[in-house]
Amino acid sequence: MTQRIQAQFAFLLEADRLRGIERQNLILDCSRRENSAEHSWHLALYALVLAPFAEPEVTITRVIQMLLLHDLVEIDAGDHPIGDAVDWQAVAEAEQAAATRLFGLLPNDQGAELHALWQEFEQAESPDARFAKHLDHCQPIFQTLYGAAPLPDHLEVVRGNLFGGRAAALEQSFPEAYFHALDLLGTPSDREVSALTDRLPFLNAADGLKTVLRATWLGDGSRAENSAEHSWHIMLYGWILGEYACSDIDISRVINMLLLHDIVEIDAGDTPIHGAQSPEAQAAQEAQEQQAADRLFGLLPEQQAVTFRALWDEFEAATSVDATFAKAIDRVQPVLLNLLNGGGSWLEYDVSFAQVESRVGVKVTRGAPEVWSYVRDRISPWFEENKRL
């Protein structure tokens, strides 16, 4: 078991580097470029919200998994804006080599499974991969067109993409997205697109999660992580470590919980696990999160609003098998990042090993005891060396 879980964590910690890959697109408030990790999270959310537009044979969980993985190769190969003059054959070869290296970090069975899923996305021949590609093509368009102050050259990229570029295929494959984009560019059509525009307010509001900073810093210590890229990373954690759940879980429900779990922080902010809070402050924070859930999920059509809110409530209650495991995984990732970056929030909040055990270890053990046993062995030397037992 030790060798297997070591390989899984090696992959998960290497994946952390995707946060350092900047894309051409700006986040919705146009304050900075987005990175490929938070982009992957937003695409997964697009898949969940826009599932009604998929063909009946599409499995949305597989689409979400493809989108979690699709840009991992950029860790080695980098991001290449579609408007740049690029040797695309060389890029494809670099990405294939990156996929071999990255998925090769995993145990053979998982590595082969994830590599095959990434290849399927690249080939774009299966129904799942085609739908994932449609979303990957339309999300950057709407992120630009709904931006607070889109750059003129970015608008030109969108026009070129829609008129003769890769997004031109959306006219046939996802006409609601294509014609709504034309509307936003000032070329109105009589196409009925309300099924899409009823969902875009939620997807646009969700972009705000990219601006919510957490107490945990990235593994390289360069900056605080944000809640969108955190959500992407723990979705990977939940998927890869699902075999260690202490009860049988539905991995698709776990992934969806982790996709949605921090959405309320757009309004309520992040609450550091090691930050001291009075019972009154905790109650006020919980009330604020409930109000945020009301507002944000209320942006969706009624049926989706009810379904997503119920999933978020289940995660918060942490009594079901799926939610117990999801909560456990949510606690694991920051611990490993603190270890990588030399202490992080443990130093900031003057945390002892006993406090980590009580605040983190108990919850992780409840959902995935083998995972906590491994993590505990990894972090205990740091606390010993720093005299924080």
Q: How many CA atoms lie within 13 A of 176 on its CB side?
A: 15
Give me the pLDDT at residue 82, please.
72
Q: Are 218 and 16 in contact (CB under 8 A)?
A: yes
Least confident of 178-187, 276-285, 302-311, 348-357: 276-285
Least confident of 99-113, 152-166, 291-305: 152-166
CA Rg, the chain, in Å? 21
Average confidence score pLDDT of the chain: 95
Angle between helices 60-69 and 127-145 (to 10 degrees): 60
Give me the pLDDT at residue 253, please.
98
Instruction: Please state, as a whole number, how many other Cβ atoms lie within 10 Å of the Cβ of residue 296.
Output: 25
Percent of the chain with pLDDT over 90: 88
3-state SS assignment for residue 372: helix
Give me the pLDDT at residue 49, please.
98
Give me the pLDDT at residue 276, please.
63
Give me the pLDDT at residue 147, please.
97
Q: Spell out the alpha helix ranges (H) of 50-166.
A: 60-69, 74-77, 88-103, 108-123, 127-145, 152-162
261-314 pLDDT, tens digit per residue, is: 999 999 998 887 776 667 887 888 899 999 999 999 999 999 999 999 999 999
> Per-residue pLDDT averaged across 118-134, rounded?
97
- Specify the pairing of strand 22-26 against strand 33-35: antiparallel
Give me the pLDDT at residue 1, please.
64
> Per-residue pLDDT averaged across 75-95, rounded?
87
Give me the pLDDT at residue 335, please.
93
3-state SS assignment for residue 226: strand
Task: Identify the helix (H) or strand (E) that includes residue 26.
Answer: strand 22-26
| Distance set, CA 164 to CA 159, 160, 167, 168, 170 (Å) | 9, 6, 8, 6, 11
Ordered DSSP codes for 322-371: HHHHHHHHHHHHHHHHHHHTTSHHHHHTT--HHHHIIIIIHHHHHH-HHH
**Length of the chain counted residue by residue:** 389
Residue 299 burial (C-beta neighbours within 10 Å; 0-12, 13-18, 19+): middle
Give me the pLDDT at residue 118, please.
98
> Per-residue pLDDT averaged across 56-85, rounded?
93
Give me the pLDDT at residue 279, please.
81
- Specify the pairing of strand 224-226 against strand 33-35: unpaired
Residue 222 burial (C-beta neighbours within 10 Å; 0-12, 13-18, 19+): exposed
> Per-residue pLDDT averaged across 35-60, rounded?
98
| Gap between the Cα atoms of 130 and 121, Å rounded | 8
> Per-residue pLDDT averaged across 84-97, rounded?
89
Give me the pLDDT at residue 38, please.
98
Q: Residue 88: pLDDT above 90?
A: no
